[in-house]
Amino acid sequence: MEIGIIGLPNVGKSSLFNLLTKAAAQTGNFPFTTIEPNVGVAAVSGDNRLKKLGEIYNPEKLTPASVRFVDVAGLVKNAHKGEGLGNTFLSHIRPLDAALDVLRAFVSDDVVPSGANGPEDERMIVDTELLLADLEYAVRAREKLAVASRSGDKFAAEGAAFLGAVVARLQKGEAVAGLVPPPLGPSSPFHLKDFLTAKPRFFVINSTAPFDPAERAGAVRIDVKLETEALELPPEERAGFLAEYGISRPASESIVAAAARLLDLIIFYTVVGTEVRARHIKRGSTALDAAAGIHTDMSKGFIKAEVLSFNDLLVAGSEKDARSRGLVRGEGRDYPVADGDIVRIHFR
């Protein structure tokens, strides 16, 4: 699953992407430094369960869970009409699962202004462009379905009616999030995931000032420049450097955790050979889904899953003792994986 980093030009999107993923995407003091999307992986820091599993299993390698981020080009006013990178930008974010919207709240003579009058104005510009792009998408899809419905296509008729409700909602300035489409035929010209306003979204405020409680509820405030400077220091010096600015935990870590929550992900663990690994999976996923996420061969030849809860392992002290106490369970393919489960897949 992937989260797109979106926002106006020159708000710090690529700099944040580099900070989160420890990458080196190009940044610049001009619009559209990013044209083709950059894709990177950010590790989940501070997983105390993984640390404890390392103490219990003593593996050679501990691998944290991760979140994939996509750094896309800056959005400008009238992007839905083709301004800026227009449709290129929109096509890059349609396939993504969620959006992280970066808002600029810093003032710098060295960075070209974003073209907005503050973070709320930026948010409104992005909101408007996403709504208008969705409106155009819905109108075109409805027209195609209306034509198909005249030939007696039941799926097309129901889809056209649904899109009529979508258009009415968008025309009122309301997002598509929360709407449930009818069953779609194989040739449907739309999918709910393609609606930009249907995607989960959260906000990151790039600011050099202390957090203001009046800022957008649920937003994460970060000084991207400061945390980037900290990352360039030796690891043992970073905490002390940030503490001088009143930062006890890097906001970049909070952003990765918030992204996982936004996607409604939980963590399960695998112990294979000399590696203990944390893995994300969508809440409500089954043991078969977990197997597929590890390797497709495991899901194709799935026999069973051996499951041990993290808390049961703590009580037992070791997997060997957990087995002797009957705490390791055999589960079928439909077992709903729980947060913290340690899962071993048996397959042909």
List the one residue out of 320, 323, 290, 319 whose CA is nearest residue 305: 290
57-62, Cβ contacts within 8 angstroms, sequence gap of 24 or more: 57/271, 57/276, 57/319, 59/271, 59/274, 59/275, 59/276, 60/274, 60/275, 61/274, 61/275, 61/276, 62/275, 62/276, 62/277
Query: Could you read off the pLDDT of 258-302 as tens digits, one per residue?
Result: 899 889 999 999 999 999 999 999 999 999 999 999 999 999 999
pLDDT at position 29 is 44
Q: Would 323 be classed as within a structural domain?
A: yes
pLDDT at position 78 is 66
Give how many domains the chain has, as a whole number: 1
Residue 217 pLDDT exceeds 70: no
Is residue 255 within 8 Å of residue 220, measured between CB atoms? yes
Q: Would 334 be classed as within a structural domain?
A: yes
Q: Would 56 be classed as within a structural domain?
A: no
As given in the structure block, the two tokens for residue 294 are 């590890």
The CATH number given to whatever domain includes residue 328 is 3.10.20.30
Query: Could you read off the pLDDT of 92-144 as tens digits, one per residue?
Result: 888 899 999 999 888 766 656 556 677 888 889 889 989 998 999 999 999 99
Q: Would 337 be classed as within a structural domain?
A: yes
As given in the structure block, the two tokens for residue 131 are 């709504």
Domain hosting 343: range is 284-347
The whole-number average pLDDT for the span 170-194 is 87
Confidence bin at 81 (pLDDT 50/70/90): low
Least confident range from 18-32, 43-57, 257-271, 291-305: namely 18-32
Q: Would 331 be classed as within a structural domain?
A: yes
The whole-number average pLDDT for the span 289-318 is 97
